[in-house]
Structure 1
């Protein structure tokens, strides 16, 4: 597993490497008393130094550095008596500046002559070939070590840096690394420095051997190690690459593994790391002494517990007669600290003091509680919010200024900020107030992300084809937290014009109020559904009221109209529904009420938590058609480890009418639906009942069951998908957060399943469709992109008779699916 080096640690390592070599450079200077007969710049001879009074001082050899700078560092002035000791001091002082690679001291009569050779300046510093250590991190470290463009060049510093970089790569398991510095001389005493890195391949761990373990097998012990022998997941985890830091961490895990199982006397006696002659294979060996297993004899809580002692004791998971476990001790300590920190004791400590009795192999535990002072939050500050106003952020705070410190409130405030979607990262730090031991400041460091967009361009998806749109949207309009969107869009099957506005804090207690206005002209013949089109519009008011930290109740009230246009090839069931009502325009007063819970840790890229919502949508009495739709969505993220996050998702939908069915007798005479009893013109009775066809649920596609063409699952009529009144869709999706080094992109592997049925009574689990595949989702600068490749696991083929005539059309498959410009 490749680790990104810490910039500060790298810089400190390079500086430490250089500081240890500053003074030895002086030993390489020329002896000042061996300078006789050296000509000065005027052709005069410089005599050996004796004791004399300095009448003047002359500096020879300067190019870029001014004489005034030299005089600043020179410990000799006119009128001083110069002798051999002071000459040595002068040389050392000038060498220490780092400006010169050679310094000579002589005299011309009573004139002190100092001849210097300046070190060249670094004109350009170039790094090539480095991948494991990023260039910006490396350049920062070099700069703090004194190697950067414009600085004075020091050959010794370059050599030391080369050695340090080699060591850094060796620590990452790359023993074939080559660091080749090149110095090119330029005019005006300048140089170009190029550091060429050939990283090579990291040495692979071929074998890990434990010696001395008798109680447990190697496989059980090594399960949690980061240093692993080569396996089928090594291409992703890179756990077969050796590094010294990983091995140190694994040895600590080895110690914890035994302590968690009661082996108090466990010790790692020796470790050995060997490498093959070609420096490609590593062999790790650790010798251990297991010792005996200990049990817990007594457990007590002492110190100032602040809260009732019984309440603190309930947080201690370690009990008498249990096998000793350091992990349970740590969990118990953390629980007590967290509980005290929530009532103001931010600096509380719990010191588990073990009393080991080796004769009977038991351990007594004393949980010593040290609460420290009760802490008050003096000020809450925000940094990095250049667009978002403080008021918008502060209303999400659950920790308040002037109140007792609460870690739970601070953490909850952080999550609420992450859920806004305005910030790419949210970090929080607690800063003690200078001169006070019972006050802290809480600082939230924010990195804002794009919260709005102005789009004028094109998008494309396999469902809608080419899409032209103009859209202005802001989820954080002018930093106020209000959401505003205006959109006009046209593609192969739709024209739409939308306006929406939402104020999430219409009242101070969090009541939200929003408005939606839209008009849409949809041609479903291009939508992979039945052949008909609609012209519809709506005006809606939307309300939301939070009832807990994670739960919200929503409501909607609106009015809409929908004109249905049928064609010659429209399925008969749709034509009959329209004819039974004897109208093609539907008006409705519409209401909706719902409940939602959101405990996700992030709006953009969640890794843990759950989001679920249930809502009932219904037309009110007096509408053209009286019906309802009940929906339930749930999505839960399970962090398995730092490499894997599992998302389980399900969608259920059901709809039906609640008014009386409308029936009409269909006659041969066009437009005449009233037939006398026994009339020869009578053909059949048609009925409008159940969920209207234009409100049916659909499934299949990139946002549903991938691998099947959008909206094509479920009932069909004359080969045309009709959708249905009952929908069930689910998914298991594994995300790989560390596979791509950017929070804007996610790679996943998934299994999707689901279908749509005519009604609930038609549900048959055997008719569920399923697919599996991989997906890439990327929030690109040009808009969201979603690409998936799916292989259907369960699908329906065409059914034909023995003559090859199609009896029942099978599923429409589409393995590669993508969307550009939508949301995901």
Structure 2
């Protein structure tokens, strides 16, 4: 698919097109008529010379007389003749401000009479889709076509021609650019450029002539251009573009050179179009020549490093079929290696020795390291809010050390990962007067790193939610993160405060604090019916152990009060009775390791992210238990059109203390008529006792045990964040309240296994803010390890759309369950969205 030009490229293209039109040569009385060359038709053209005693300017409306005097090459006291008068007229025309200029004299007074060109009151562009309006308006402005500028018809015509060419380069040969000018009072005009883009011409056939060694299909497989097919609606490979064809012809040349055909040549290319300008036909004539093999490979020149070390990077060997690609990879590898030890200007020049009779090529790789370069200083520009220290601590290229391209590349990735900057560009500037020193200049464009948010969102799980958040990712330019948040929805109220210093110590140690409180109604959460009020205070530590690896720790104190109802499942009631507790206090610790090598945090296309962490309550807590979790996500770029993501989440939890057992007495319950049919149909138990059974003949007794992972720490699965197509948190074990076995509620489990295969289509929506995908999800939760059964895993497939809209993130999916059971709760269409105002 043809990419739109960025603003700078579009502006340069329009500027180049306008260059011949910069000298304004029009002197027509009609400001909307095509320009004509000026002539010396002034009354002074045939008059005799005189000395100017004064200068008067007539006809000015918007332009000041001072502006005219600035450009007029005549001053009081000068002698003016016909030649100098003509020069003055041309100088004033060249300003582009006037449609007509005349010079006259009244005595010895020089009279300059001008007719100003109109000013542009309003500039409007309509109908454009392929070229964004903001890019187009920027290009117009840089060429003197903006509101408030002086109108120049010649510039408008030239720009219309340039826009036509730009669209034709994208295969839109039916494009129509219609500029119109409306005259207003006070010498003003409204300019409207109407664009009718039409549809891009489709490539109906590509014909290769002269290829005998390889089939058309094999050669054309890597081309961006392709014949119209059933996938063209997505790939857009059937849209003709001159730039795409040029790149494809280069690929054709490389295809043969990579297979040893060094005499290959493209003899001719022809592009034809149907009379209706809708269909394109491409033809390329080639001469294949003979295949050559490598006769010898030599590494020569000043290798700097041990020759044996560089020799391991040579991918071309004697007896192989010649391949330019392997030769380029060899050169790039050696250059990169030398560049990482200070030789910033190293070159590797392959010198071939072709023997056309033997059909062999001898290769000499000449290494030219150039001077070893030292970095004199690292300079930061554009960081008006962020202190230099915050940027400098992310740099891996240091002042006073040898230049390293790898260190510079890594520095750029780390600076982009901060999230404080819209763009990061790093350039190396040679120090004047030396050939072995450079300054590294880091140019950043800051973006907003703080926000005050009032948010409204909706999801099928939580319903309507409101949120107020005050956050600053770069507090006072120090790089510290501060956040205060309050959130309410149908199932929870939550209040948080967090602070994080990512460089508490110079070695990169992270220190942070979290304080939060929440009230959660699990009956609206899609799970077992009970309520909880909980709060915590935590300290967070992080230790980087490499560029991609981090070890983290957490220590905190928390409390959790459980409130049950008559509908709470019996196992939860039994667990609480066994402990004779409703409030749980815990000293909590967490230890984890994470690795992140993604190329982009928001829309990754390659790399991997994984994390493993152990969370446990410490001895002395109300309940002693632990949870071990592992998440992994890997992105595989299959092609320009496809990115595969494979991910999995595993979780396991259990108690490590002794089980607690109690014997309980129960007052006999009774059957009640809840549906008014005259029959007792629902068993309602009597109240549970607060003390163990002391009598020998209670109505009935029961032994209850608290063991394993507490129910309020169970894992859940199902929904938009795990197995789509199933209602949130509904997969896994289910339990019922005592006396009502027909009312089953999800209670989660101590073992979690979920995963997904998801194929993203990066070019489908043509915007980095949105991604479409097709997925297969699978997973479930189980009561314990002994209950784990691969046959119980659920699976679904479907389509998804993720969009970072101006109103907030939106996620929509539509899934079809592939493996399900009769009691599973299916929900094919699932979505969430949030917004800020």
Asked if Structure 1 and Structure 2 have the same fold, meaning a TM-score greater than 0.5 normalized by the shorter chain, the answer is yes
Please, which runs of 5 or more residues in structure 1 have no aligned partner? 36-45, 798-809
Residue 421 of structure 1 aligns to a residue in which SS? coil
- Alignment partners' CA distance in 2, 1:156 and 1:202: 28
Aligned-pair RMSD on alpha carbons? Answer: 3.0
Structure 1's 302 and 766: CA in aligned 2 closer, same or farther, altered over 3 A? same
- Alignment partners' CA distance in 1, 2:719 and 2:65: 77
Residue 256 of structure 2 aligns to a residue in which SS? helix
Report if aligned partners of 2:23, 2:96 keep a CA contact under 8 Å in 1.
Answer: no
- The residue number in structure 1 matching 2:60 is 63
Please point out which of 166, 187, 194 is paired with 1:196. 194
Report matched runs for 1:562-641 at 5 Å.
562-641=560-639
C-alpha distance after superposition, 1:303-333 (max 9, x if no partner): 1111111111111111111111111111111
- The residue number in structure 1 matching 2:46 is 49
C-alpha distance after superposition, 1:440-465 (max 9, x if no partner): 22233334444343334543222122
- Alignment partners' CA distance in 1, 2:576 and 2:148: 81
- The residue number in structure 2 matching 1:811 is 824
Report if aligned partners of 2:551, 2:593 keep a CA contact under 8 Å in 1.
Answer: yes
- Alignment partners' CA distance in 1, 2:45 and 2:387: 74
C-alpha distance after superposition, 1:732-775 (max 9, x if no partner): 22333444455444333322111111112212212111222233
- Alignment partners' CA distance in 2, 1:489 and 1:190: 54
Residue 519 of structure 2 aligns to a residue in which SS? strand
**Higher alpha-carbon deviation: 810-819 or 443-452:** 443-452
Shift in Å at residue 114 of structure 1? 6.5
Residue 332 of structure 1 aligns to a residue in which SS? helix
- Alignment partners' CA distance in 2, 1:137 and 1:469: 36
- Alignment partners' CA distance in 2, 1:430 and 1:472: 39
Report if aligned partners of 1:485, 1:500 keep a CA contact under 8 Å in 2.
Answer: yes
- The residue number in structure 2 matching 1:801 is none
Please point out which of 670, 673, 690 is paired with 2:708. 690
- Alignment partners' CA distance in 1, 2:503 and 2:65: 67
Report if aligned partners of 1:432, 1:439 keep a CA contact under 8 Å in 2.
Answer: yes
C-alpha distance after superposition, 1:127-150 (max 9, x if no partner): 222222223333333344343444
- Alignment partners' CA distance in 1, 2:66 and 2:809: 61
**Higher alpha-carbon deviation: 758-767 or 536-545:** 536-545
Shift in Å at residue 292 of structure 1? 1.2
Please point out which of 689, 695, 711 is paired with 2:729. 711
C-alpha distance after superposition, 1:478-513 (max 9, x if no partner): 332223333333332223333332222222212222
Shift in Å at residue 55 of structure 1? 6.4
TM-score by length of 2: 0.88
Please point out which of 147, 163, 166 is paired with 2:164. 166
- The residue number in structure 2 matching 1:751 is 776
C-alpha distance after superposition, 1:223-271 (max 9, x if no partner): 1111111223322332211111111111111111111111111111111
- Alignment partners' CA distance in 2, 1:445 and 1:380: 11
- Alignment partners' CA distance in 2, 1:822 and 1:89: 63
Please point out which of 458, 465, 469 is paired with 1:467. 465
Report if aligned partners of 1:379, 1:442 keep a CA contact under 8 Å in 2.
Answer: yes
Please point out which of 244, 247, 254 is paired with 1:246. 244
- Alignment partners' CA distance in 1, 2:476 and 2:49: 77
- Alignment partners' CA distance in 1, 2:475 and 2:196: 49
Structure 1's 109 and 622: CA in aligned 2 closer, same or farther, altered over 3 A? closer
Structure 1's 158 and 425: CA in aligned 2 closer, same or farther, altered over 3 A? closer
Shift in Å at residue 339 of structure 1? 0.8
Residue 386 of structure 1 aligns to a residue in which SS? coil
- Alignment partners' CA distance in 2, 1:104 and 1:587: 94
- The residue number in structure 2 matching 1:486 is 484
Report if aligned partners of 2:24, 2:95 keep a CA contact under 8 Å in 1.
Answer: no
Structure 1's 14 and 620: CA in aligned 2 closer, same or farther, altered over 3 A? closer
Please point out which of 426, 430, 448 is paired with 2:424. 426
- The residue number in structure 1 matching 2:651 is 653
Please, which runs of 5 or more residues in structure 2 have no aligned partner? 27-34, 668-687, 737-743
Matched, 1:728 2:746: no
TM-score by length of 1: 0.90
**Higher alpha-carbon deviation: 87-96 or 425-434:** 87-96
- Alignment partners' CA distance in 1, 2:154 and 2:124: 18
Report if aligned partners of 1:296, 1:365 keep a CA contact under 8 Å in 2.
Answer: yes
How many pairs does the alignment contain?
800
- Alignment partners' CA distance in 2, 1:11 and 1:258: 37
Shift in Å at residue 696 of structure 1? 0.9
- Alignment partners' CA distance in 2, 1:685 and 1:468: 44
